[in-house]
């Protein structure tokens, strides 16, 4: 089955009870048993729910894996991955990580005796310098947020295999429409399904997909034992979102390219961060591992003025000033005052998050309206 068919049919079957074409929302916590232990595959909805199962099969299908697991949020999914580890274990991760993942690693799991290395991965070979006998996991995010850095997944996977450590990839920004980490040698692919998979900014959810049965069993044990599962209504919404992922992503990519090219030519814009430009430092790797360049980009304005950047995002009318990304509607954010406000200026500026940096999640509206809106707000 090809991707554009998998989004609609992957792992899906019609409801056995009445032939419903869409999976029913099994809004139930528990299931009747004919005799103790005599159930039809479900006994309690933390352990399993048919609507969630339908979604988990869809996750597995679109990411070319064998097993999918749905969680209450993207961070709950990452939390489950780190719970595979023990005190003394080490993780090598990127220095341009999603802020929430960084907070989870440093403020929660570090206190449980797990050691994290946050390193530059623009050259994936650098990973090898941080691997020792305690290393158990390499955690990669590509493209990164908000600087749109690209990490070579295949190169990271080679290093992971050589040293027998797991490779996990946060594929939230690219989605399986653009990039399939499991095919490139990753062991775990993770999503904040809140973003493009859900696609409509109406649900918070996380996903993991793996190929290996043993790893799937361990993660399922953690999912059930720790209990950060998503509800049936949310499962239904994300399943519905996935059905249009390919058409939405196609438009996100087209609009993202048009907006990136418009901004690059605008006299008030200093720099545009978008992996589709040949001038992007890892454009070749992006071209190798992604099928297109997505709808996420960041840019800075000349003079790098904090107040001016805030005024610009306030002046936007079609773009909404908001956290998050990946919905059908266009969103703009100002990392220095929003997502990265808690990071000291000297630290955030080192990774490129300067005062005038603005991040855009380019939606699927008419691109002329998006460009007009940016033009008036920059003016």
Ligand X SMILES: *Cc1c(COP(=O)(O)O)cnc(C)c1O
CB of 302 to ligand X, least distance (A): 28
Sheet strands (E) in 122-212: 135-141, 166-170, 188-192, 206-210
Contacts with 291 (C-beta within 8 Å, 6 or more apart), sequence order: 177, 178, 179
Catalytic residue check, 98: yes
The residue among 104 and 253 lying less far from ligand X, judged by its C-beta, is 104
Can you tell me the distance from the alpha carbon of 120 to that of 181, in angstroms, rounded to the nearest whole number?
19
Tell me which of 79, 89, 96, 170 is the catalytic residue.
170
Tell me which of 195, 248, 257, 348 is the catalytic residue.
195
Burial environment of residue 250 by CB neighbours within 10 A (0 to 12, 13 to 18, 19 or more): middle
Looking only at the bridges linking them, the beta strands covering 358-361 and 135-141 are: unpaired
Distances 311 to 307, 315, 341, 376 between C-alpha atoms, Å: 6, 6, 17, 12
The residue among 196 and 262 lying less far from ligand X, judged by its C-beta, is 196
Distances 196 to 30, 52, 147, 241, 318 between C-alpha atoms, Å: 31, 18, 18, 8, 19
Neighbours of 112 (CB within 10 A): 12
Residue least distant from ligand X (Cβ): 74
The residue among 48 and 100 lying less far from ligand X, judged by its C-beta, is 100
Peptide bond connecting 143 to the previous residue in cis, omega within 30 degrees of 0: yes
Catalytic residue check, 248: no
CB of 322 to ligand X, least distance (A): 13
Helices 367-378 and 306-315: crossing angle in degrees, nearest 10, is 140
Looking only at the bridges linking them, the beta strands covering 331-333 and 269-273 are: unpaired
Number of H helices, E strands in the chain: 13, 12
Can you tell me the distance from the alpha carbon of 298 to that of 334, in angstroms, rounded to the nearest whole number?
10
- Asked if 195 and 326 count as a contact pair (C-beta separation under 8 A), the reply is yes
- Asked if 299 and 271 count as a contact pair (C-beta separation under 8 A), the reply is yes
CB of 288 to ligand X, least distance (A): 21
Residue with tokens 């992996």: 275
The residue among 45 and 201 lying less far from ligand X, judged by its C-beta, is 201
CB of 195 to ligand X, least distance (A): 6
Gyration radius from the chain CA atoms? 21
Question: Where on the chain is the footprint of ligand X (CB under 6 A)?
Answer: 73-75, 98, 100-101, 141, 145, 170, 172-173, 192, 194-195, 204, 206
Catalytic residue check, 46: yes
CB of 193 to ligand X, least distance (A): 7
CB of 68 to ligand X, least distance (A): 16
3-state secondary structure of 129: helix
CB of 74 to ligand X, least distance (A): 2
Structure token pair of residue 31: 């299931």
The residue among 105 and 236 lying less far from ligand X, judged by its C-beta, is 105
Looking only at the bridges linking them, the beta strands covering 358-361 and 296-301 are: antiparallel
The residue among 54 and 174 lying less far from ligand X, judged by its C-beta, is 174
Tell me which of 98, 177, 196, 273 is the catalytic residue.
98
The residue among 181 and 206 lying less far from ligand X, judged by its C-beta, is 206
CB of 73 to ligand X, least distance (A): 3
The residue among 8 and 328 lying less far from ligand X, judged by its C-beta, is 328
Catalytic residue check, 273: no
- Which helix (H) or strand (E) segment holds residue 265: the answer is helix 245-265
- Positions marked active-site: 46, 98, 170, 195
């Amino acid at each position: 089955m090809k991707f554009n068919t998998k989004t609609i049919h992957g792992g899906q079957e019609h409801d056995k009870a009445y032939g419903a074409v869409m999976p029913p929302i099994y809004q139930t916590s528990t299931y009747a048993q004919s005799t103790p232990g005599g159930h039809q595959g479900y006994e309690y909805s933390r352990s399993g729910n048919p609507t969630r199962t339908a979604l988990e099969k869809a996750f597995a299908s679109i990411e070319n894996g064998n097993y999918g697991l749905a969680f209450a949020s993207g961070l709950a999914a990452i939390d489950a991955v780190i719970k595979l580890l023990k005190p003394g274990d080490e993780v090598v991760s990127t220095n341009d990580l999603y802020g929430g993942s960084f907070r989870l690693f440093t403020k929660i799991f570090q206190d449980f005796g797990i050691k994290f290395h946050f390193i530059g991965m623009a050259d994936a070979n650098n990973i090898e310098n941080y691997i020792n006998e305690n290393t158990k996991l390499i955690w990669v995010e590509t493209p990164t947020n908000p600087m749109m850095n690209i990490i070579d997944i295949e190169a990271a996977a080679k290093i992971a295999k050589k040293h027998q450590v797991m490779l996990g990839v946060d594929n939230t920004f690219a989605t399986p429409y653009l990039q399939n980490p499991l095919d490139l040698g990753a062991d775990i692919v993770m999503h904040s399904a809140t973003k493009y998979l859900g696609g409509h900014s109406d649900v918070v959810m996380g996903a993991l997909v793996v190929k290996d049965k043993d790893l799937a069993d361990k993660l399922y044990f953690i999912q059930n034992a720790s209990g950060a599962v998503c509800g049936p209504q949310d499962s239904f919404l994300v399943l519905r979102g996935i059905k249009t992922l390919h058409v939405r992503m196609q438009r996100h990519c087209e609009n993202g390219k048009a907006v990136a090219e418009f901004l690059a030519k605008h006299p008030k814009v200093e720099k545009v961060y978008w992996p589709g430009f040949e001038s992007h430092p890892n454009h070749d790797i992006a071209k190798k591992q992604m099928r297109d360049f997505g709808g996420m980009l960041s840019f800075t304005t000349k003079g790098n003025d904090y107040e001016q950047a805030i005024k610009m995002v306030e002046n936007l009318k079609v773009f909404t000033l908001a956290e998050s990304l990946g919905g059908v509607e266009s969103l703009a954010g100002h990392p220095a005052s929003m997502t990265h406000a808690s990071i000291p200026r000297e630290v955030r500026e080192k990774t490129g998050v300067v005062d005038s940096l603005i991040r855009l999640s380019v939606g699927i509206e008419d691109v002329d309206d998006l460009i007009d809106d940016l033009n008036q707000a920059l003016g």
